Chain A
Amino acid sequence: MSDPPVPNESTPAPAWEPNIVGFLCNWCSYAGADLAGTSRIPYACNVRIIRVPCSGRVDPLMILRAFREGADGVLVSGCHPGDCHYIEGNYYARRKFIALKQLLDHVGVDPRRLRFSWVSASEGRKWAEVVETVTRELLEIGPYRYDRDGDD
């Protein structure tokens, strides 16, 4: 893959909206997002959803790739602790992403850009709230841009 374009720290366009990638587990959060739909609960339009079998399937590299190539935020959503369809995948995910947040912080990325949430299949409203919160927070943080020293 060719190197991604490295945009300047130009002033964001006034209509800037955060671009968010959401990894949702098939059993709880994806179904929760479906329920938000069937319940017609409106929420911000900023998340693009990728369905995965389990939050434990999400490789930290997928998240880093998303940031490297233009996402402003990443949301990983799984089943509540104890409710994982695969028994304990979400626990592994939780541990992994706590470590990843520290890594992000270490390399200078605002760790708030990565959000981990529990949304069950019956929590359509919660899903809408999570999207709203994440979007609002990213609006405050601003677009994710990085410059290499020496680049113009």
Chain B
Amino acid sequence: MARIGVFVCWCGANIASTVDVESVAEAASRLPGVAFATDYKYMCSDPGQKAILEAAQEHRLDGLVVAACSPRMHEPTFRQVAAEAGINPFRMQMANIREHCSWVHADREEATAKALDAIRMMVARVAQSEPLEPIKVPVTRRALVIGGGVAGIQAALDVADGGVETILVERTPSIGGKMAGLDETFPTLDCSQCILTPKMVDASRSEFIKLYTYCEVEKVDGSVGNFKVTLRKKAKYVNHELCNGCGDCFHKCPYKKIPSEFDYGVGNRTAIYVPFPQAVPNKPVIDRETCVFFKTGKCRACEKVCLRNAIDFEQEDEFEEIDVGAIIVATGYDILEPAEMAEFRYGAIPDVITGLQFERMSSASGPTEGKIVRPSDGEEPKVVVFVHCVGSRDENYKEYCSKICCMYNAKHAIILKHRIHDAQAYLFYIDVRAGGKGYEEFWKRACVEEGAEYLRGRVSRLYDENGKVIVEGQDTLSGEQVEVVADLVVLATAMVPAKGTEEMARILGVSTDKDGFFNEAHPKLRPVDTATGGIFLAGACQAPKDIPESVAQGSAAAAKALGLLTKEEITREPTVAVVDPFICTGCWNCVTVCPFGAPEKSEITMTIDGRKVTRPVSEINEGKCEGCGLCVASCPGNCIDQRGFSDDQVYAELGGYLERLRAALTHE
């Protein structure tokens, strides 16, 4: 017979005011297998824990049931107490009599009965619980950072700073991300590239960082501490070992009118190109889709001019498998395609542009060399309308606030005034959200010092007339209809997860929220973890963020990764599946259903009645098993069980309740 101790917590008045804790403890002491039961004001407090330790010794307990709050709250605490008491932590269970009982039921009698049932169930479960030891897994001391924007760069730099090798993967030809394309940054108006490019160079020079640009993550296997990642290194058609980045090739490329992705179509690029002058690595790639040679088999202009013989049209995508212990996801954002919102006439009226296009125009190294012009005629605009919340805070598109637009609109209004002194900015807004250091002062400055006209209200209609864009809207403060005859309209479009985020989530096996951003493990307390161990988040892939927040989260994710990677080995929950090879018939149903590839096809050789028999059987790879129990419930032969959640344990828990019901029924 088990010797289980039951400890009923009052949680001050949280439990005790609804549940009759004393009578529960008294009734629990009479349950089969229970050697001792008591109640105490705060079980989790130091004296509460001491009481458990003392009782464990005095009554020679071999199992614990703590009836208190949710195990999601204090299971680690009481597992620790069990270990200290010399009781296997997996023979400790919590009966949730607070969240699931005293806090949701008012009737004292009902709540008390329910609490006692919860204890009955857990006592029965503990009696059936095998002692388990955590699984120890060695850690691969290497990190992968996916995405080379500012969040990813920061994360890679910080992990590398801890002396851990880091692989930084970026799918475009250069690291730098969205920030590399920005002009000046709010609220200090320091130049974005001036602060970012040194970081980019640091990342490329660090002895601990391996940079893989023009490269995508194809597959992720394994689990925390030991991931196997397959990378697809896209063919660059330029041998970067030989290339010295002289640029002769792209000056010679005859095909020059390809809208530049980096410039959001404001400028053009060639088919062989470096996305921007400060790119890292500063070496070109050939875009197969637009290169004339790949279309017609003729041209090779770049090849002819390259003195280093670096052009290689024969290159193919290469696959490389890497082992890493932790993954930081920093895949960033895109903007909601404004053409999808027909009412803003983007695409229909050439002088309606996005905020990011405005950035490229105002950037000194951009396609217009810092001149703000109307795309339609190249003229300097004198009246510019900035529209807030385009697609954000709009139930037709995205309900959420994109967070950064209020600030960059203010910034754009200031930059406009600095570049074109007689220009007038009008800003249509819902509210100005300026929470951040120096942010409130910044937009006030746009408004008061730089003369920007803020109009509180949504834009109702946009149309073109005589080469102007007429913007109609309501000023809800004055209650009047307003009409602005604008030369240029800039849309602050909603931030959305970067293209391919859904696919990346699938590859990584992590979840996304209703808007497609990656889900953090806890919205407040674990903002950079995902629910999958060893995978962390940084930057706008998790939610709209500005630069300081992205950098902060990059550093935070790096700290989390380092915490993991500086360990020799990690322990995993031993609640994994186990196959009974004596009855497994090798039907591979478990292999089919497992989302993690944990069951592996294996063989067993046995000598039965003097005869050697070799049979196919399934075997669980404990390193891969996440402990969901899907294979257990799906095995047609009942050959698989789960440690810590065994059929016996579940049936015992169920039985603890049902036996009480049956007893009640027979007395009816």
Interface flag for B27 (CB, 8 Å): no
Cβ–Cβ contact B104 & A62, under 8 A = no
Chain B 91-107 against A: per-residue CB contact (8 Å), 1 yes, 0 no?
00000101111011111
A138 interface contact, C-beta 8 A: no
Contacts of B101 in A (CB 8 A): 37
Contacts A52-B629, A62-B650; A43 near B104 (Cβ below 8 A): yes
* Shortest beta-carbon distance from A46 to chain B in Å: 9
Max chain B Cβ within 10 angstroms of own Cβ: one of A30, A40, A43, A96: A30
Given contacts A5-B666, A83-B511, contact A59 B100 (CB under 8 A): no
Q: Is the CB of A30 within 8 A of B72?
A: yes
Query: Across the interface, do B103 and A92 meet the contact criterion of CB distance under 8 Å?
Result: no
Contacts of B71 in A (CB 8 A): 51
Q: Which of B214-222, B271-279, B657-665 contacts A (4 or more CB under 8 A)?
A: B657-665
- Mark interface residues in A25-67 (1 if CB within 8 Å of B CB, else 0): 0110011011011101111010011111110111110100110
**Interface flag for B632 (CB, 8 Å):** yes
Chain B residue nearest to A128 in the complex (CB): B104
Contact B114 A48 (CB under 8 A): yes
Whether A92 pairs with B100 at a CB distance below 8 angstroms is: no
A10-B633 CB under 8 A given contacts A34-B72, A38-B99? no
Q: Are the C-beta atoms of A59 and B70 separated by less than 8 Å?
A: no
Would B630 and A86 count as touching, CB distance under 8 A?
Answer: yes
Partner of A45, one of B105, B593, B645: B105
Taken residue by residue from 6 to 19, chain A's Cβ proximity to chain B (1 for < 8 Å, 0 otherwise) reads as 01001001000001
Q: How far is the CA of A70 from the CA of B655 in the complex (A)?
A: 10
Q: Give the CA-CA distance A33 to B100 in the complex, in Å.
A: 6
Chain B 56-83 interface mask (CB, 8 Å, partner A; 1/0): 0000000000000011110000000000
Question: B659 contacts which chain A residues (CB < 8 A)?
Answer: 69
Contacting pair A13 B668 (CB below 8 A): yes
Q: Chain B residues with Cβ under 8 A from A50's Cβ?
A: 121, 650, 653-654
Interface size on B, residues (CB 8 A): 52
Which residue, A13, A31, A60, A92, has most C-beta atoms of chain B within 10 A?
A: A92
- Provide the residues of chain A in CB contact with B98, threshold 8 Å: 37
Q: Indicate whether A85 reaches chain B with its CB closer than 8 angstroms.
A: yes
Alpha-carbon gap, A30 to B645, bound state (A): 15
Q: Kindly list chain A residues whose C-beta atoms are within 8 Å of the C-beta of B645.
A: 52-53, 57
Chain A residues with CB under 8 Å of B110's CB are 45
Is B527's CB within 8 Å of the partner chain A? no
Structural contact, A48 and B657, CB atoms closer than 8 A: yes
Whether A92 lies near B99 (C-beta < 8 A) is no
Which single residue of chain B is at the shortest CB-CB distance from A58? Answer: B633
With A70-B662, A92-B634 known to touch, is A41 a contact of B104 (CB < 8 Å)?
A: yes
B163 to chain A, nearest CB (A): 33
Question: Shortest distance in angstroms between B120's beta carbon and chain A's nearest beta carbon?
Answer: 9
* Pair A5/B665 contact, Cβ less than 8 Å: yes
**For the complex, what is the distance from the CA of A64 to the CA of B107, rounded to whole Å?**
30
Q: Residues of A contacting B658 with CB < 8 Å? A: 21, 65-66, 69-71
> Quick check: A57 and B630 within 8 Å, CB to CB?
yes
Number of inter-chain CB pairs below 8 Å: 137
Nearest CB on B from A91, distance (A): 10
A54, B628: Cβ atoms closer than 8 Å: yes
B372 within 8 A of A: no
| CB atoms of B103 and A59 under 8 A apart | no
Q: Does B187 contact A (CB under 8 A)?
A: no
Most buried by A among B628, B634, B658, B665: B628
Across the interface, do B595 and A59 meet the contact criterion of CB distance under 8 Å? Answer: no
Across-interface contacts of A66 in B (CB, < 8 A)? 654, 658
User: Which residues of B have CB within 8 Å of A96?
Assistant: 633
B313 within 8 A of A: no
Is A123 part of the binding interface, using a Cβ–Cβ cutoff of 8 Å?
no
Contact present for B105 and A48 (CB under 8 Å) = no
In the complex formed, the residue of B with least CB distance to A43 is B104
CA distance A83 to B96 in the complex (A): 24
Decide: B661 and A69 in contact? CB cutoff 8 A: yes
Contact among A37, A48, A128 with B99 in the assembled complex (CB-CB below 8 Å): A37
Interface 1/0 per residue, B586-613 and A, CB below 8 Å: 0000000101100000000000000000
Contact A65 B628 (CB under 8 A): no
Say yes or no: B595 contacts A21, CB within 8 Å: no
The complex places the Cα of A21 from the Cα of B661 at a distance, in Å, of 11
Q: Which residues of B contact A41 (CB under 8 A)?
A: 104
Which chain A residues border B629 with CB–CB below 8 Å?
52-54, 56-57, 89
Cβ-neighbour of B531 out of A13, A27, A49, A54 (below 8 A):
A27
Docked CA distance A126–B531 (Å)? 22
Q: Which residues of A contact B (CB under 8 A)?
A: 4-5, 7, 10, 13, 19, 21, 26-27, 30-31, 33-34, 36-38, 40-43, 45, 48-54, 56-60, 62, 65-66, 69-71, 82-83, 85-89, 92, 96, 128
What is the interface of chain B, defined by CB distance below 8 A to chain A?
70-73, 96, 98-101, 103-107, 110-111, 113-114, 117-118, 121, 509, 511, 531, 575, 593, 595-596, 626-630, 632-634, 642, 645, 647, 650-651, 653-655, 657-659, 661-662, 665-666, 668
Report, nearest first, the 6 A-B pairs whose CB atoms are least far apart. Answer: A37-B99, A57-B629, A86-B628, A70-B661, A56-B630, A37-B103
In the complex, 30 of the A-B residue pairs with CB atoms within 8 angstroms, ordered by the A residue number, are: A5-B662, A5-B665, A13-B668, A26-B72, A30-B70, A34-B72, A37-B101, A37-B103, A37-B104, A40-B104, A42-B104, A42-B106, A45-B105, A45-B110, A45-B111, A45-B114, A48-B118, A49-B100, A50-B121, A52-B650, A53-B575, A53-B627, A54-B630, A57-B629, A57-B630, A65-B658, A69-B661, A70-B665, A85-B531, A89-B630
